[in-house]
Structure 1
Amino acid sequence: MTMSDALSRIDQIQSTLQRIAGTQSPAKTAASAASADAFAATLASSLGTTGTSASGVAALAGTSTATGTDVATAAQKYLGVPYVFGGEDASGMDCSGLVQKVYADVGIEVPRLVSGQMKLGTEVGSLAEAQPGDLIVTGGGAHILIYAGNNKVIHAPYAGRTVCLVEAYMTDADIDTIRRVIPTQTAATAGNTTADMFSAALASFESGGAR
């Protein structure tokens, strides 16, 4: 099953569950919702990520073909955008607004604030191990940057500055955490593997799905 087929099948399942919910008793409606959640949990487990309901499937699908390099490339589109506290678009953005916008551009939904972003994915042990797209948190959780590769970072520094690409000026001692949101693998492998995982999760769901 291709990714497109899997997504199409998911849409069909969600539509069916919605129709069932509109005609069943409260108890059966709850069972249908539980079945949808079970599907999401199965899918999340297959993907090695956290999911809470079927509504999260679209966001998970968006991560399947993105790579860390895609994130770093997307971030470069915002070089020169002025720092604006609370900003989150091309008219102005702060550090976490930049991260949220860049990840959204590659199809991945992340929290708006550093406090949420610094808990994403898996931790990277040191700056020497960082890869493009990794998130670097400094200042006790006050600032977040995107690692661009070749010992460079992209960030929105502070008022009066613009989004910029600079040498990584911090050391491991300055870093609170480095987070890898996208697992290390080629885009092709990620796409094929995720499509297979979708198929397995769908098969598991449909074998014991809502009736």
Structure 2
Amino acid sequence: MSAIDAVNRIQEIQQTFVALQTGTVGSASATASESFTGALAGALANTQTGTAGTAGSAGSAGSVTGQDIVADARKYLGVPYVFGGTTSSGMDCSGLVQTVLKDVGISSPRLVSGESTLGTAVPSLADAQPGDLIVLKNNEHIVIYAGDDKVIHAPDVGRNVSEVPNWLTDADIETIRRVAPSTSAAASPASSASALSSSQMTQLLSAIQGSLGGASSTTSGSGSLSSLLSLLQGGAL
């Protein structure tokens, strides 16, 4: 259940609860309603803050996509190959990868041998996605898969960083490494940010029950509050 759905459900329960107060002392009903509203506001503030915080931390760690890596790599097209270079004045193959990953907030070793252990392994070229790192046999070279069967790399002395048709086959490859989640995986934390977790819903229910516990004794049916809370919990968790 999302936070919005929870609010709507709770408002319905509040209306039902207030209706059950009919025939009781007016001040007690008013107090119960005010207490309910205060508890609801406080509990929702806590749960929504907690949910947003979780999404924020996930976003900062997992918001980079393979397309982001490709876009950043394209900024360096035309940079001359310089052995050991890591700047726009010149870079080698592993220097390009390290610089691009640093730009998007991913820490990377300096040499191909270290970069070949980043992220998670991809089974084959058929499974490659934009932003994946392709390492040649014996860690001799590393390129960035750009999608559409193209790669971006710093080729060799006398040449520049370029985007070219992929010439590699699986037989040429030591490993393919995925250092950024797919677009769908990166989007999932954001989509879950509006949902209340079980622990947050429990906190919400406890706050409401605590605020109305005293007033529930004035209702015509002593089990009404428990029934309403059970209804909310059953629909939310």
TM-score range, shorter-chain basis? 0.5 to 0.7
Map of 2:153 onto structure 1:
155
**Count of equivalent residues:** 145
Map of 1:166 onto structure 2:
164
Do the aligned partners of 2:137 and 2:173 also contact (CA within 8 Å) in 1? Answer: yes
Higher-Rg structure is 2
Which residue, 77, 80, 89 being the options, matches 1:79? Answer: 77
Q: Does 1:2 align with 2:65?
A: no
In the aligned structure 1, how far is the partner of 2:61 from the partner of 2:55?
17
In the aligned structure 2, how far is the partner of 1:109 from the partner of 1:192?
26
In the aligned structure 2, how far is the partner of 1:74 from the partner of 1:94?
16
Do the aligned partners of 2:78 and 2:161 also contact (CA within 8 Å) in 1? Answer: yes
SS at match of 1:137: strand
Tell me the TM-score normalised to structure 2 length: 0.55
CA RMSD of aligned residues (A): 2.6
Which residue, 127, 130, 140 being the options, matches 2:128? Answer: 130
Tell me the TM-score normalised to structure 1 length: 0.62
Q: CA deviation at 1:180?
A: 0.8
Q: CA deviation at 1:107?
A: 1.1
Do the aligned partners of 1:138 and 1:176 also contact (CA within 8 Å) in 2? Answer: yes
SS at match of 1:2: helix
Change (3 A) 1:143 1:6: same
Map of 1:189 onto structure 2:
188
Map of 2:222 onto structure 1:
none
In the aligned structure 2, how far is the partner of 1:178 from the partner of 1:102?
17
The CA deviation string for residues 51-70 of structure 1, in whole angstroms up to 9 with x for no partner, is xxxxxxxxxx7542110111
Q: CA deviation at 1:105?
A: 1.1
Structure with a larger share of its residues in helix: 2
Map of 1:140 onto structure 2:
138
Which residue, 98, 101, 115 being the options, matches 1:100? Answer: 98
The CA deviation string for residues 102-156 of structure 1, in whole angstroms up to 9 with x for no partner, is 1111111111111111011111111111000000001410110000000000000
In the aligned structure 1, how far is the partner of 2:87 from the partner of 2:145?
20
Change (3 A) 1:76 1:140: same
Which residue, 105, 112, 115 being the options, matches 2:113? Answer: 115
Stretches of structure 1 that go unaligned for 5 or more consecutive residues are: 8-46, 48-60, 201-211
Moved over 3 A (4+): 3-7, 190-194
Change (3 A) 1:149 1:108: same
Map of 2:63 onto structure 1:
65
In the aligned structure 2, how far is the partner of 1:177 from the partner of 1:190?
28
Which residue, 77, 87, 90 being the options, matches 2:88? Answer: 90
In the aligned structure 2, how far is the partner of 1:114 from the partner of 1:191?
33
In the aligned structure 1, how far is the partner of 2:125 from the partner of 2:171?
10
Do the aligned partners of 2:113 and 2:139 also contact (CA within 8 Å) in 1? Answer: yes
- The amino acid that maps onto 1:138 is L
In the aligned structure 1, how far is the partner of 2:135 from the partner of 2:72?
19
In the aligned structure 2, how far is the partner of 1:166 from the partner of 1:5?
37
Do the aligned partners of 2:82 and 2:92 also contact (CA within 8 Å) in 1? Answer: yes
